[in-house]
Amino acid sequence: MRLLILLLTSSLALAAFAQSGELSPSAPDGLRKGGTLGQDLPAPPIAGDPREVKREVRNYPEQPPVVPHAIRDYQVDKNFNRCLDCHSREAAVQAGAPMVSVTHFMDRHFQVRAEVTPGRYFCTQCHVPQTDAEPLVESDFKAVDEVIRASNKGDR
């Protein structure tokens, strides 16, 4: 009986202590800012995907171009690739879509094949649609032209 009382009081005290904030320090300001370790904050709203976006200039030559349209429900699996419905070699002209680049037809030995090779088949591994989401972390990334321009200025 005495043990039970002791156990109860100690657990109550611990619970009260946990509430006080001493055991729940503020969380490191990572991707989700604010709050403490013990706190459950509501998830930030899901960013929408705007339909009307223009094709964007690539920041460096090998950048996979971003997807300038919604791709909700697009099926890309062993059975079917919805992206290739428009972006394949045969369909691109009729669809008015850019054809997948020739690199996608190369296998690992740089041998060009007739079809998009399995290594490049899953489009969203590299190509992603753009949303109006705020960047999670600050970035001082500069496009390649800016870097060149800046370094040219430095030379003079």
Question: Which spans of this chain sit near other proteins (rule: CB under 8 A)?
Answer: 72-73, 75, 77-80, 82, 85, 95-96
Q: How many CA atoms lie within 13 Å of 117's alpha carbon, on the beta-carbon side? A: 15
CB of 75 to other proteins, least distance (A): 6
According to the annotation, is 27 in a ligand binding site? Answer: no
What's the closest the beta carbon of residue 134 comes to other proteins, in angstroms? 21
> Which residue number, 76 or 106, has a Cβ lying nearer to other proteins?
76
What distance in Å separates the CA atoms of residue 112 and residue 109, rounded to the nearest whole number?
Answer: 9
CB nearer to other proteins: pick between 30 and 45 = 45
Least separation in angstroms between CB 22 and other proteins = 44
Q: Is 69 annotated as a binding residue?
A: yes
Determine how many CB atoms are found less than 10 A away from the CB of residue 66.
15
Instruction: State the minimum distance, in angstroms, from the CB of residue 79 to other proteins.
Output: 5
Whether 87 has a binding-site annotation, put simply, is yes
Asked if 124 contacts 62 with a C-beta cutoff of 8 angstroms, the reply is: no
**Distance from C-alpha of 128 to C-alpha of 67, rounded to nearest angstrom:** 5
Q: Which two tokens stand for residue 51?
A: 């339909």
Q: For residue 55, give the H/E element and its range.
A: none
Asked if 23 contacts 13 with a C-beta cutoff of 8 angstroms, the reply is no
Quick one: 36 or 75, whose CB is closer to other proteins?
75
Q: How far apart are CA 138 and CA 129, in angstroms?
A: 20
Residue 123 is assigned to a ligand binding site: yes
In the complex with other proteins, the residue whose CB is nearer, 40 or 73, is 73
Annotated binding site for heme c: 69, 83, 86-87, 104, 123, 126-127
